[in-house]
Chain A
Amino acid sequence: MNRILLSIFRKEITHILRDPQSLVMVLLMPLLMLFLYGYAITLDMKGIDTAIIDESRTPESRALAQRLSTTDFFRIRARNLALDGIEDLFKSRTARCVLVIPSDYAIRLIARGGAEVELIIDASDPNAAEFVDNYFGQVVAAQSASLAGGGRLLFAVSPRVFYNPDMRSADFFVPGLIAVILILISTLLTSIAIVREKESGTMEQILVSPIRPGQMILGKVLPYTAIGFAAGVLILSVGSLWFRVPIKGSLLLVLAMMLIYTVSGISLGILVSTIARTQAVAMLAAVTLTILPIIMMSGFIFPVSSMPKVFQWVSAAIPATYFLQIIRGIVLKGSTVLDLYRPAGILVGMDILLIAASVRSFRARLE
């Protein structure tokens, strides 16, 4: 039994080593993604191009413009253009927002105890527009407070950011990438390895030999589990050594959870292999079953709680959703098994379901 398993394992390793390009790519791709996500994605905005139309031309309006230009967030690019020039300003992307101070600003502010200013925002990027809106609100509030004579604050608000105090994107993405890469590699490579044998007809040959299907599957799956696992460890080490993502919880627990999660990917791969007849189909199926839902719906980038209800249900059916909670919990929050029994339990349940389904469909296909 063990000898047969070992020889299949060795055969698979030979396959892998014969195509070193693919192997290098499999290990390089996660690193590339890690560096892109780690560096390219910072979500703090700065230097928003701004124009000011000051129709008031009073010391009061200049004071507001002055306060705006002293922040890092706004960069004044144009002043005192005509109101109908705004459209062109947005279309040529010279400015993202335009502050319009009306001509009665100073009079209203002094005599009537309150004035309005208008901020016209190019909202074609709604996320940025939201940031601009919030930030400008703070500038206006600060200006109001200083006009009212300062010290009028009734209570203060002090934010404390937990787990990722600098709100660094690397801390968010490194654990998430492990979730993406592990399942991609395990599903993709497993399904390709099995379908390749089908395509070239060697599967039939193996099946007429005394090797049992279970042994064959196990022998084929083990090397890819190892590769997937190695890629995961690679990301984890580069993440913690280069990007300084702290691993607050137990490393052993992380590795154990990675293993449980990889099993779900591999079962998915076997399932795909029973359906697909060619490598191209297997690849497409593996990619659409893993990458897309994980990137879009597991909370890898986009918060699940903001999605429509239907997609939240879909998200609840994806193993990666739970693995993401687990690994971010352990790495960033230092969670223990006690905190994570729920997602971990669900993940194990999904594993069992997927294994059962893949074994069944594999048997059915053989008969």
Chain B
Amino acid sequence: MRRILFVVQKEFRQIRRTRAYFALIFVAPFVQLLVMGSALTTEVKNVPVTIVDDDHSPMSREIVRAASATASFDFLGTAASEAQATAMLDSGRARMVLAIPPHFERDLKDLRTPEVQVLVDGVDGNSAGVSLGYATAMLAQVQGRWAQSMAPPSPERGAGAITMVPRMWYNANLDSKLNFVPGLVGILLVIVTTFLTAINIVREKEIGTLEQIMVTPLKGLQLIIGKIIPFTILGFAQLTIGLLAAGLVFGIWMKGSLLLLYFLTLVFCFSTLGLGIFVSTLARTQQQAMFIAWFFMIFAMLLSGFFVPIENMPAGVRYLTYLNPLRYFILILREVFLKGTDFRFLWKEAAAMGAIGLVALVSATMRFQKRLK
């Protein structure tokens, strides 16, 4: 026990001496949350839109007016011809074109159902889908107004319109910050625990101090525990700073229990620290450790549901995400942060993280000892 304490003491001394760690732990969360929390947005806003109006009738002009009044559009004005509009799509100046055909109003009044074409740049499929939704909604509104004024609903026809009232819980303004910021706290935590642990151990290998430690009476397991404790504490410090930053920078304070989050973070740290030690047994140089750690982290980040919801992934990939501790932790962070979910609904995630952590730590320790012999 006393030996472990010595290792912890030594690690802290080293950490204190490395200035970069302090920047990483105390400054980085603020900067990264500020930058990424503001820049990362899946909302689709300011879609550059142009309209080709081949009808020039009061009705077609009403559509133009409605488009220019739509908040999510950056309305570029009307284009002279469809050729000009497609050229704007080609050059990327416009991302959506509404084309109103000639004789639109006449056909509409004769009940011949004219067609408004919506041409959309599909390169970014997600944005294209959302933009199409905006255009359809905008046109449906115009259509609804006209339908009302052209044929007011008569009681004998016996049916009317259904209106839908959406209620957004937990995030009334659909602000994507609320979704990204808790997730970012989790990602920052992985960087500290996995990355720094791997680099730290490999560095000792590279400069030869690991050999020196090995000839002391210190056992492998004691060394590993001594390495885990300081980095867990660092992780907790960073989590706390991250929570503070989320509150101070964005006003996103946690709804759920802090104690629950700390407990689940501890479980999570075991899995990421285990991974870090495992990486350190694979790498010979810091450069390799860096590469391998990146490799794992990109994998973990992409399959965590941070960028892309897991339900949207194909079945094979979805099964793969069950192996990813970050997947559970990001879910936990979001649940506890936004909904105040309690342990009753999170114990499965906690159990999964615990199991992964146990496997990672045990196999890392075994590999570590084998490598020493």
**B-binding residues in A (CB < 8 A):** 19, 21-22, 25-26, 28-29, 32-33, 36-37, 39-45, 47, 64, 88, 90-93, 109-130, 133-134, 136-138, 140-141, 143-144, 147-149, 152-165, 167-169, 171-172, 192, 279-281, 283-284, 287, 296-297, 301-303, 305-308, 310-311, 325, 328-329, 332-333, 335, 339
B154 (CB) vs chain A CBs: closest residue: A113
| Residues of the A chain whose Cβ atoms lie less than 8 Å from the Cβ of B262 | none
Q: Which residue of B lies closest to A21 (CB)?
A: B288
CA distance A350 to B111 in the complex (A): 57
Given A37-B302, A162-B122, the answer on whether A167 and B129 have CB atoms closer than 8 Å is: yes
A116 to B165, CA, bound (A): 7
CA distance A328 to B116 in the complex (A): 28
Q: 1/0 contact trace for B295-332 toward A, CB 8 Å?
A: 10011001100011101111011000000000000000
Residue from A92, A128, A281, A329 in contact with B309 in the complex, judged by beta carbons closer than 8 Å: A128
**Nearest-Cβ distance from residue A257 to partner chain B, whole angstroms:** 15
- Report Cα–Cα, A178/B316, bound state, in Å: 25
11 more CB-based (< 8 A) A-B contacts, given A117-B163, A134-B137, A163-B121: A22-B288, A40-B303, A41-B308, A116-B164, A148-B157, A148-B161, A156-B114, A159-B118, A162-B120, A280-B290, A310-B38
B48-A305 in contact (CB<8A):
yes
Set A88, A122, A161, A301: member contacting B122, Cβ < 8 A: A161
Bound complex: CA A91 to CA B170 (Å):
11
Q: Say whether B81 faces chain A, with CB atoms less than 8 Å apart.
A: no
Task: Tell me whether A148 and B108 are in contact in the complex, defined as CB-CB below 8 angstroms, given that A29-B298, A47-B311, A154-B146 are known contacts.
Answer: no
CB distance from A111 to the nearest CB of B (A): 8
CA distance A154 to B72 in the complex (A): 25
Rounded to whole angstroms, the CA-CA distance of A90 and B303 in the bound complex is 23
Check if B74 sits within 8 Å of A303, measured CB to CB. no
Minimum Cβ distance to chain B for residue A20 (Å):
11
Would you list the 9 A-B pairs with minimal beta carbon distance, nearest first?
A: A113-B160, A167-B125, A164-B122, A123-B168, A161-B122, A126-B174, A123-B171, A114-B160, A147-B159
Q: How far is the CB of B124 from chain A (nearest CB, A)?
A: 5
Smallest beta-carbon distance B36→chain A, Å? 6
Least distance between A197 CB and chain B CB atoms (Å): 14
Binding site for A on B (CB under 8 A): 20, 35-36, 38-48, 74, 86, 89-92, 95, 104, 108, 111, 113-130, 132-133, 135-137, 139-140, 143, 146-147, 150, 153, 155, 157-172, 174-176, 178-179, 199, 285-288, 290-292, 294-295, 298-299, 302-303, 307-309, 311-314, 316-317, 334-335, 338-339, 341-342, 345
* Contact among A28, A157, A162, A165 for B115, CB-based, below 8 A: A157
Q: For the complex, what is the distance from the CA of A117 to the CA of B132, rounded to whole Å?
A: 24
Q: List residues of chain A with CB within 8 A of the CB of B167.
A: 118-121
Decide: A124 and B90 in contact? CB cutoff 8 A: no
- A42 and B314 contact, Cβ closer than 8 Å, known pairs A155-B113, A160-B119: yes
> Is the CB–CB distance between A164 and B123 below 8 Å?
yes
List 28 interface pairs A-B (beta carbons < 8 Å), by A numbering: A19-B287, A36-B298, A37-B302, A40-B308, A44-B312, A90-B339, A113-B153, A117-B165, A123-B170, A123-B174, A126-B175, A127-B179, A134-B130, A134-B133, A147-B162, A155-B108, A155-B116, A159-B136, A160-B118, A161-B122, A162-B119, A165-B122, A301-B307, A305-B46, A306-B45, A308-B38, A310-B38, A325-B92
Contact of B158 among A42, A110, A114 (CB under 8 A): A110
Query: Whose C-beta in chain A lies nearest to the C-beta of B132?
Result: A159
Contacts of B287 in A (CB 8 A): 19, 22, 192, 279, 283
Q: Which residue of A lies closest to B89 (CB)?
A: A162
User: In the bound complex, how far is the Cα of B219 from the Cα of A225, in angstroms?
Assistant: 46
**Residues on A with beta carbons closer than 8 Å to the beta carbon of B36:** 296
- CB neighbours (8 Å) of B91 from chain A are 335, 339
Q: Would you give the shortest CB distance from A236 to chain B, in whole angstroms?
A: 16
Is A129 in contact with B136, judged by CB distance below 8 angstroms?
A: no
Assess the A303–B159 pair: CB atoms within 8 A.
no
Partner of A159, one of B120, B143, B168: B120
Nearest opposing residue in chain B for A168, CB measure? B125
